[in-house]
Amino acid sequence: MNHTLVVVGSLNMDLVVRAPRHPRPGETLIGSQFQTFPGGKGANQAVAAARLGARVRMIGRVGQDAFGDALLQTARQDGVDTTFIRRDPHAATGVALITLDEAGQNTIVVASGANMQVSPQDIEQAAAAFEGASLLLMQLECPLEAVEAAAELARRRGIPVVLNPAPARPLPQSLLAKVDYLLPNQHELHLLAEGEADYHTAAARLMSNGVRNLVVTLGEEGALLVAPHTQEKLAAFKVPVVDTVAAGDAFAAAFSVALAEGKSLREAVLWGNAAGAIAVTRPGAQPSMPNREELIHFLKERGL
């Protein structure tokens, strides 16, 4: 049986340019290839979860413009239920300006547009999306009030909450208390742990502040899993890196699908690592997301 995930989050059109390196302030660089890809952390995670076999309902906003049309269309093509995505009459669809260097490392600036108009009222009006759901998955490209309202609604219904706190920002204790699984990268962890540089110490600090389960994504190093009676670092899979955009989204989606299916936390992290590894071998945000067969094949090839 397919499990249902609710994703609350952003949809952006990604405008991506490749450059020999990242420019310094005031510098103009001549880049090479320019491409547009459907993106946004929320939509990337929604599309990835759908490709991995989940039924996905997404809550968010796009503008009444061509980028909005395109993003809704691609999400639907991947089977995401877009009934709960509103067309904002006043704000433009979100856009992300992305620079990729020769090593595939990225910098991103987002013009959030309609994503920042998602409100607690939107969540209330989309309450039907939570019917029969196994898990709620969110990020931080929408207003915190909406994220917290969704977490509250899920908790009242006994639905586990996964939060990928990206992009990094300080979070109120009231929100953290509603999160069952927190998935920061190292940079986000550092900020959440008030500047603590060592990731083991930072993780311990968050756990002592009441975070229930923590998975820190460490890029080429893999992921650190910290739960009440477990602490384990799972190594990353070695792959050739083409484009790192949305690797964290692939991780969050695969982790969430595995959890919703009742797999162990350790197995969910393995799924996350595998999805992230596959995603970095391909260009683009949503186009790089693996499907279920690819992910299972990838793990099997490595004896897992």
- Give the orientation angle of helix 41-51 with respect to helix 247-260, to 10 degrees: 50
Q: What is the dihedral of CA 285, 288, 289, 290, to 10 degrees?
A: 180
Kindly state the number of chain residues that form the binding site for ligand RIB, as judged by CB under 6 A. 16
Residue 106 Cβ vs ligand RIB, minimum distance, rounded to whole Å: 8
Number of other residues whose CB lies within 10 A of the CB of residue 56? 31
Positions 269 through 288 that interact with ligand RIB (CB under 6 A): 285
Interface with ligand RIB, residue 48, by CB under 6 A: no
Interface with ligand RIB, residue 141, by CB under 6 A: yes
Interface with ligand RIB, residue 215, by CB under 6 A: no
Say how far apart CA 182 and CA 211 lie, in whole Å.
Answer: 7
Q: 14 labelled as ligand-binding? A: yes
Number of other residues whose CB lies within 10 A of the CB of residue 112? 21
For residue 103, the 8-state DSSP code is: T
Residue 44 Cβ vs ligand RIB, minimum distance, rounded to whole Å: 5
Q: 65 labelled as ligand-binding? A: no
Positions 13 through 32 that interact with ligand RIB (CB under 6 A): 14
Return the residue of 3, 6, 7, 12 that touches ligand RIB, per CB under 6 A: 12
Residue 39 Cβ vs ligand RIB, minimum distance, rounded to whole Å: 3
Binding mask 237-266 for ligand RIB (x = CB under 6 A): --------xx-xx-----------------
Interface with ligand RIB, residue 5, by CB under 6 A: no
Residue 189 Cβ vs ligand RIB, minimum distance, rounded to whole Å: 16
For residue 287, the 8-state DSSP code is: G
- φ, ψ at 233 (rounded to 5°): -100, 125
Q: Which two tokens stand for residue 215?
A: 């998975």
- Bridge partners for 137 per DSSP: 7, 162
Interface with ligand RIB, residue 40, by CB under 6 A: yes
Residue 224 Cβ vs ligand RIB, minimum distance, rounded to whole Å: 20
Q: Which residue lies nearer to ligand RIB by CB, 6 or 96?
A: 96
Q: 249 labelled as ligand-binding? A: yes
Of the candidates 224, 234, 274, the residue with the CA atom closest to the CA atom of residue 254: 274
Say how far apart CA 122 and CA 194 lie, in whole Å.
Answer: 32
Percent of the chain as helix, strand, coil, to the nearest 5? 40, 25, 40
Q: Which two tokens stand for residue 139?
A: 């990020």
Q: Choose the stretch contacting ligand RIB; rule: CB under 6 A; options: 40-48, 68-76, 183-191, 201-209.
A: 40-48
Q: Which residue lies nearer to ligand RIB by CB, 44 or 99?
A: 44
Read out DSSP for 199-234?
HHHHHHHHHHTT--EEEEE-GGG-EEEEETTEEEEE
Positions 85 through 124 that interact with ligand RIB (CB under 6 A): 96, 108, 110
Judge contact between 283 and 243, C-beta under 8 A. Answer: yes
Q: Choose the stretch contacting ligand RIB; rule: CB under 6 A; options: 8-16, 130-138, 199-207, 287-295.
A: 8-16
Active site residue 249: yes
Q: 289 labelled as ligand-binding? A: no
Tracing tokens 């491409």 back to the chain, one arrives at: 35
Q: 243 labelled as ligand-binding? A: yes
Residue 90 makes CB contacts below 8 A (sequence gap 6+) with 117
Catalytic residues: 249
- Pick out the residues of the known binding site for ATP: 185, 217-222, 248-249, 273
- Pick out the residues of the known binding site for substrate: 12-14, 40-44, 141, 249
Binding site for ligand RIB (CB under 6 A): 10, 12, 14, 39-41, 44, 96, 108, 110, 141, 245-246, 248-249, 285
